[in-house]
Amino acid sequence: MLSIGEFSRVTQITIKALRLYHEKGILVPDAVGDSSGYRYYGPQAVERALTVKRLKEMGFTLDEIREILEECKDDGEIVARVERKLAEIEKSLRQYHDMEKTLALFLESAEARRMKVVPGVVIEDLPDRMICGLRFQGKYQEVGAKIGVVFRACARAVAGRPFSLYYDGEFKEEGADIEICVPVKKKITAEGIDCRTLAGSQAATIVHRGPYSALGPSYQKLFEFCADKGLRTGLPIREEYIKAPGFIFRGNPKNYLTKLMVVLS
């Protein structure tokens, strides 16, 4: 007979766990001292203890382990239970993966809000950037939801603030040709997502503060600046979202920051 300490060392199961297994009826000692209350285990208890340990490592709860030990005698009898447990774990992994994407998306948005912006119209050299893009034809109001789709596809590969490319030369109430882009640090493969290098270019830029419905005057300043300087503009127009509605808190539209960029040709 092994004392609980000796049995703990043999099986590499803590004394605390062994006491719990006793209380749950999973691993009952072969003898318990009448006066001392000391637990003692026989040789056959070692194999049962190792079985409990293996089942616990496979993710089974103590209640499930007790049922398996009571109802099953060999590996073949627990196949169905293992298949169910595997399905549960796969479901949990998918849920955690979705949570990971949502958390990463929130942190990226929060980081974007902390970054400083430069006011006024300036000429910038936009570098080549690897992006994940989602192009669609629809309404401008769909942009926010589409950004969420691309962010979730990119997860931890995100490497910058999201932006939109507008391929139309005019405002459209419906059927606007829009591409949602998210910079990434490595190539991503996802259904419906175009991961590629967006060529750099020179652009005239201005940072707009306020709601998206009031972008017009800022675009006017940008186009007038280009006209005054004799600069030729091209497509697509880019809008980068520096401070935008959050994924949890929408924020005050008066404080939204959007960088408008017109490509110079």
Residue 225 lies in a domain: yes
Same domain, 29 and 160: no
Same domain, 61 and 190: no
Same domain, 116 and 245: yes
| CATH number of the structural domain spanning residue 201 | 3.20.80.10
In terms of residue numbers, what domain contains 41? 2-71
| CATH number of the structural domain spanning residue 13 | 1.10.1660.10
**pLDDT tens sequence across 43-69:** 889 999 999 999 999 999 999 999 998
Same domain, 160 and 234: yes
Of the residues 16, 38, 71, the one at which a domain ends:
71
Query: Both tokens of residue 80?
Result: 């169905």
Residue 88 lies in a domain: no
**pLDDT tens sequence across 107-119:** 666 655 554 444 6
Contacts of 130 (CB under 8 A, 6+ apart): 159, 183, 184, 185, 186, 187, 195, 196, 197, 198
Residue 36 lies in a domain: yes
Residue 250 lies in a domain: yes
Same domain, 116 and 225: yes
Per DSSP (E only), the strands in the chain are 2-3, 31-32, 39-41, 122-126, 129-138, 163-166, 176-183, 194-198, 201-209, 233-243, 257-264
Same domain, 62 and 127: no
Query: Both tokens of residue 48?
Result: 């049962």
Query: Both tokens of residue 131?
Result: 């992006």
Of the residues 20, 52, 71, the one at which a domain ends:
71
Same domain, 252 and 160: yes
Total domain count for the chain? 2
pLDDT (0 to 100) of residue 186: 93
Residue 82 lies in a domain: no
Residue 43 lies in a domain: yes
Same domain, 44 and 144: no
Q: Which of 258, 218, 260, 261 is nearest to 242 (CA)?
A: 258
pLDDT (0 to 100) of residue 102: 78
Residue 260 lies in a domain: yes
Same domain, 122 and 250: yes
Same domain, 116 and 243: yes
Give the total residue count for the chain: 265
Residue 185 lies in a domain: yes
One-letter amino acid identity for 181? C
Walk along the chain (265 residues) and give the pLDDT tens digit of each residue: 899 999 999 999 999 999 999 999 999 999 988 777 889 999 889 999 999 999 999 999 999 999 998 888 877 888 888 899 999 999 999 888 888 877 777 766 665 555 444 468 999 999 999 999 999 999 999 999 999 999 999 988 999 999 999 999 899 889 999 999 999 999 989 999 999 999 999 999 999 999 998 999 999 999 999 999 999 999 999 999 998 876 556 778 888 899 999 999 8
Same domain, 231 and 119: yes
Same domain, 141 and 51: no
Is 0.95 topped by the overall pTM? no
pLDDT (0 to 100) of residue 115: 47
